Amino acid sequence: MVTEQYWFIFLNAALINNFVLSSFLGICPFLGVSGKISTASRMGAAVAFVMLIASLSAYAIHQALVALNAEYLQLISYIVVIASAVQLVEMVIKKFSPALFRALGIFLPLITTNCAILGLALFQTNRHYDFFQSLSFALGAGAGFTIALVVMAGIREELQLSSVPDVLKGAGITLMVAGILSMAFMGFAGLGGNG
Amino acid sequence: MSEERIQSEKMAIFLKGLWKENPVFVMLLGMCPTLAVTNSVTNALVMGVATMAVLTLSNILVSSLRKLIPAQVRIATYILIIATFVTVADYAIKAASLEVHKALGAFIALIVVNCIILGRAEAFASKNSVGKAALDGLGMGLGFTFALFLLGAVREVLGNGSFLGMPLFGERFQPVTLMILPGGAFFVLGAYLLLFNWLKKRKAEKEEEKIVFFTGEESI
């Protein structure tokens, strides 16, 4: 596990075990903000960015907690750090690029309760990734989340033009489409083993 | 008289989570664990009970501290309270059964970011008395467990040909493996939503017919 190539970790998180479609992380934004491609891609970019920061800080915290022999604080410290990282990112973006800040809007603070971020931090700790492995894992997860969100948004934009049976309207048809997408992503399993 | 009313009000708080405001089927909250851990009935039940425990305990604590928590930092405080109880639940499950803990993996820890818990803390526990908050937590938790059980039952019976790990059919049963794979989770939940929508629609139509019937009689 430890000797895995960085590229493979990246591909694994992005496609083979896609965070959204096969690990079920970040389903809420996946169902909630996948209505339009433009918002979906922005949301994806914001999540990918926070993932990167969260992954690096989670790595540092884990080292500190192991040194202090206080691993039971893991969950609490991760969630606090993610919440403050989101806050920090929000402030930095607001300062340096007000245009981007306005574009992301409400999505930024909502990222705190996105389970993809905490899941990423927990997975990389459970799998004992070193610094660079964590980095490629975070990049892959962010890419995978964005891909899933944008593909889903594309399908839903088309879906608005087609006639859906009344009983399936809304969440029902979205879940069915997600199921088919998830089956399609299973095809990527041929790229390598499951990690 | 008034005591009876209080009793029925309490019952209503408890029951609304089960069906009318079911967190999964009606409010579509807590989707991640709902889809991820329902590949077997055992996993679904453990996850449901763990969430229910965390939900009830955090509701009680949030409600009893509701006058002390400053409004500006309330969300952060709620998350800390929830994270504490989730850590307790995580270690408790690990102590009770290492096998189940392994099967559920990171999803026990991920109860922290389950929107149901934060949602109930913000929407209900922070505004109501301790007793009501506890009832609300229990009701919502039971509704969540019930939904997880429904999903887990369909997926395990179809995908593995077993129920709670016991084989149901003979040797010749060909399992629909897709059902225990990720895609199956989406399909089963979608199918349940379809079923509930259809039931709701049929009920509405029947009521409409009734109204038409009554008004028809009146005109005669």
- Residues of A within 8 A of B31 (CB-CB) are 24, 27-28, 31
Closest CA to A79 of B52, B77, B64: B77
Query: Which H or E run includes B162?
Result: strand B162-163
- Contacts with B114 from chain A: Cβ below 8 Å: 115
Instruction: State the pLDDT confidence band at A3, using cuts at 50, 70 and 90.
Output: low
Banded pLDDT at A195 (limits 50, 70, 90):
very low
**For chain B, how are helix, strand and coil distributed in percent, rounded to 5?**
75, 0, 20
- Inspect the interface and report whether the beta carbons of B32 and A180 lie closer than 8 Å: no
Domain assignment present for A194: no
Residue A44 domain-assigned?
A: yes
User: Cα dist. B195→A50, A159, A168 in Å?
Assistant: 38, 21, 9
Q: Is A185 part of a structural domain of the chain?
A: no
Tell me the backbone φ, ψ of residue B162, rounded to 5 degrees. Answer: -140, 170
Q: b/e map of A100-121 (b: 16 or more CB within 10 Å)?
A: ebeebeebbebbbbbbbbbbbb
**Domain assignment of residue A86, given as a range:** 6-178
Q: Is residue A193, in this structure, part of any structural domain at all? A: no
Interface of B with A (CB under 8 A): 28-29, 31-33, 35-36, 76, 79-80, 83-84, 86-87, 90-91, 105-106, 109-110, 112-115, 118, 178, 181-187, 189-190, 193-194, 197-198, 201
Residues lower than pLDDT 70 in chain B: 1, 212-220
User: Over the stretch A80-96, which tens digit does the pLDDT of each residue have?
Assistant: 888 888 888 788 888 88
What are the tens digits of pLDDT across the range A103-118?
666 667 777 777 888 8
Residues in B touching A129 (Cβ below 8 Å): none
Chain A residues touching B35 at Cβ < 8 A: 24, 27
Q: Residue A136: inside a domain, yes or no?
A: yes
Query: Is A65 among the domain residues?
Result: yes
Residue A189 lies in a domain: no
Contact between residue A146 and residue A44 where contact means Cβ atoms under 8 Å apart: yes
Give pLDDT tens digits for A45-86: 888 888 998 899 999 999 999 988 888 888 888 888 888 888
Q: Across chain A, what does the average pLDDT equal?
A: 84
With CA atoms as reference, report the closest residue to B53 among B21, B19, B96.
B96
Render pLDDT for B145-175 as a digit per residue (tens, 0 to 9): 999 999 999 998 888 888 887 887 777 777 8
Q: How many separate domains does chain A show? A: 1
Predicted complex ipTM exceeds 0.90 = no
A184 within some domain: no
Q: Which helix (DSSP H) or strand (DSSP E) does residue B87 occupy?
A: helix B74-96
